[in-house]
Amino acid sequence: MQSVRAFRGATTVDADEVGHIAERVEAMVRAVLDRNGLDADALISLLFSATPDLHATFPATVARARIPELADVPLMNMAELDIAGALPRCIRVMVHAATDLPRSAVQHVYLEGAVALRPDLARP
């Protein structure tokens, strides 16, 4: 029986530049989809957040441009809270999808500097 599950992903960028952000967002989203065996038909929505030090582009905009499978999937951007000591230049995604995976089998993805957020869940 399928359930709605949430799949988390996070990455960091080295520079606030459209091309660099686009590369990292694409890698993060594709890793979440690939590691969890998700295809476009399973996707319900993707929520992106970015830290306040990123201004060059919207993560959802570059995700839709670089990942054709997201053409008709609702995507949304939001700002992370500006908390002292928070990881800088960080982009996160929460993917909602219908899947047969039990919650214990969900693989969350932490790339680049975002590994520091959840080293217990990060894998090479």
pLDDT at 120: 80
For the segment 33-51, the average pLDDT, to the nearest whole number, is 97
Residue 121 has pLDDT above 80, yes or no: no
Domains of the chain: 3-116 (3.30.1330.40)
pLDDT of residue 118: 86
69 neighbors 75 (Cβ within 8 angstroms): no
* Inter-CA distances, 4 with 42, 44, 95, Å: 9, 8, 10
Query: Which residues on neighbouring strands pair with residue 121, listed in sequence order?
Result: none
The token pair at 84 is 């002292």
CB-CB contact of 111 with 118 (8 Å)? no
pLDDT above 70 for 122 = no
* Confidence (pLDDT) at 1: 78
Residue 124 has pLDDT above 70, yes or no: no
35 phi and psi angles, rounded to 5 deg: -65, -20
Q: What is the pLDDT of residues 58-95, one digit of tens each?
A: 999 999 999 999 999 999 999 999 999 999 999 999 99
Q: Structure pTM?
A: 0.95
